[in-house]
Structure 1
Amino acid sequence: MTQDDAITVITTVRNGDAFLDRYFANLSDILRPQDCAVIVDDGSTNRVILPDGLKQAQLIRTNPIGRGAALNLAISHATTNLIAIQDIDDFSHPDRLSIQTGILRAHPHVLAFTAGQKIQAQAKTCRNQWREIPAARLYRSNPLHHSSLAFHRDIWQQAGGYDPDLPCCIDLDFYLRAAQHGETTIWRLDLPLITRNTDPATRHFASIQTTIHRDTLRHVLARHRKGIAPPIWMRLFDLKRALGIGI
């Protein structure tokens, strides 16, 4: 165990009262002695209060600044080279941090994701399950769970952080931007190391208006099109649209 093995869990929250007790309990369970957490309370109506026993966590309170700006603020206060993202309403499995720090120490230029599942289960360490996902694959759909992401802080700095001006799709925008800098590649572990909240009544993503998501998604994909060659099917789609062929 060395400082190179330490990781900071990053979480932003606004009015997540219903999930705080479970989140703090989960954080206490997964943080190893060398790890820490930075939590940004992004203008919650009821201010977030850290439990007395959670000594490894730092809480930052702000006026509402938005998800992208809150993530940047949290990461800027991290004291470790390794960063892990966790949403307030998701649940990390016990082996998550040790597995992801292991891959990041061996491959520092990787955005390391894991699979997610709806029902909590004990994760088991498996070998040779990491696979690369080409950035161009994200032009078809986004199979990556932001809450499962871990990476070197250098990648965040080189990419210029998260875009604070986007109303949504900030995760996809960050992945595509990061993939255009240096040797950064996207890897995913098929083993589920998080349990996801998929309830549309409480999941933030479900509250985003369809038109806002659609327009922002188009904007994000278009802004990175020159830097990341889209897959063949996307080029054919663009060609058919330009020629006025039915699509």
Structure 2
Amino acid sequence: MRTDLANVPVVSVVMTAKDQEPYISAAIESILDQSYTDFELIVIDDGSTDRTGQIIQEIAARDPRVVVSSCPTRGRVPCLNHALSVVRGRYIAIMDADDLSHPERLRLQVEYLEANPDVQVLGSRHADLRQNEFAIPPLVGRAVAMKPVMPRSRLRGFNIRPLPLMHATALMRREALDRIGGYRRAFRHQEDTDLFMRLEEVGEIRNLPEVLYFYRRHENNTGRRHPVAQTASWVLSVILAKRRRRGRDDWADAASTGEIWRKLALHEPALALHAGLLVLFQYMRKKRKHVAQHRWQKLAVGTVGSQMAQSDT
């Protein structure tokens, strides 16, 4: 951890990046353009093979708020936990390297947490961002994720679900993260769901009703590249939260993903069967959703192309 105490920022924004050359500059600039300015931006290049690292260094050279840090272990979870070890702010914001934050995001989130000390995590609603958009777009005609202001997990019945909160929209209290121990490797590609399920157990979680984040959909999104692993981790995080809230160990601090599934099958076969069926159900649901989104994107591109052709005639 850095020991310089002068000008300690209120907010530490955490960004990990791997091969995000087309988008990293716009993502960083959307943080640097925030109306709220008392922050540092911790950026970790997770072994990029393109120009991502060079772009990060160039921006950091001209803006001291950008702090480039090197993670000794590759991977999203180790890099996130490394970032948590070097942050200085009392609030931790998450920012993905291919998305955009609204310029009022940090101001509105900090004001809310300052006024509501019982709230440990604050997210917001978010809108879709097209692959070729690099500035905050208008909301008219755009898909918006209407996250509830008071998100709650659902742990009864078959279709159990985590609380509806998007990781990259979150501003979290650092002391809450320290209390639960950060991210856990057993939940690869869905570490945020496990994190939020544990944070829900130590305090209140809210979403602001404003759209403060823009999520870019493209073929390299984690859910498109690792749909089965992500779905399995998503289900496992909720299943283990159910077990944990019955006062039982969830095994995830020390065991690997495979070991957790084996222990679940041995000690709670009914819960393990529930989890397996839910993985299949959620995977098929996500697959249908991705097909629908792909069709919508093709339609949108075709509509834009048609309009451009008409304007040229």
TM range (shorter): 0.7 to 0.9
Post-superposition offset of 1:107: 2.1
Select which of 148, 171, 185 maps to 2:192: 171
1:113 aligns to what?
123
Structure 1 residues 66 and 103, CA, compared in 2 at 3 Å: closer, same or farther? same
Structure 1 residues 151 and 145, CA, compared in 2 at 3 Å: closer, same or farther? same
Select which of 38, 43, 48 maps to 1:39: 43
Which has the larger helix fraction? Answer: 2
Select which of 57, 61, 66 maps to 1:57: 66
Select which of 72, 94, 98 maps to 2:103: 94
Select which of 239, 260, 271 maps to 1:222: 239
Post-superposition offset of 1:141: 5.6
Which amino acid in 2 is paired with 1:56? Answer: R
User: C-alpha separation between the residues in 2 aligned to 1:159 and 1:168?
Assistant: 19
TM-score (norm 2): 0.64
Post-superposition offset of 1:166: 2.3
Give yes or no for the alignment of 1:196 onto 2:215.
Answer: yes
Q: Provide Cα deviations, 1:29-83, integer angstroms capped at 9, x if missing partner.
A: 1264421111111122243432122210111123552111211111221111011
TM-score (norm 1): 0.79
Q: Which of 1 and 2 has higher RCO (CA within 8 Å, sep 6+)? A: 1
Same amino acid, percent of matched pairs: 20
Check conservation: 1:20, 1:88, Cα contact below 8 A. Answer: yes
Give yes or no for the alignment of 1:149 onto 2:170.
Answer: yes
Q: Provide Cα deviations, 1:212-243, integer angstroms capped at 9, x if missing partner.
A: 223222321221103448xxxxxxxx8xx7xx
Unaligned runs of 5+ in 1: 124-128, 230-237, 242-246
Post-superposition offset of 1:130: 8.0
1:7 aligns to what?
11
Local SS of the residue matching 1:105: helix
Tell which deviates more after alignment, 130-139 or 5-14.
Answer: 130-139
2:76 aligns to what?
67
Post-superposition offset of 1:145: 1.4
Q: Provide Cα deviations, 1:68-117, integer angstroms capped at 9, x if missing partner.
A: 12111112211110111010111000110000001111223321000001
Unaligned runs of 5+ in 2: 1-6, 130-135, 140-146, 247-270, 275-280, 282-313
User: C-alpha separation between the residues in 2 aligned to 1:217 and 1:157?
Assistant: 22
Flag the structure with larger Rg: 2
Structure 1 residues 5 and 185, CA, compared in 2 at 3 Å: closer, same or farther? farther
Post-superposition offset of 1:121: 4.3
Q: Provide Cα deviations, 1:187-210, integer angstroms capped at 9, x if missing partner.
A: 1112100111022x13233211x3
Post-superposition offset of 1:161: 0.3
Structure 1 residues 206 and 82, CA, compared in 2 at 3 Å: closer, same or farther? same
Aligned residues: 223
Q: CA RMSD in A?
A: 2.9
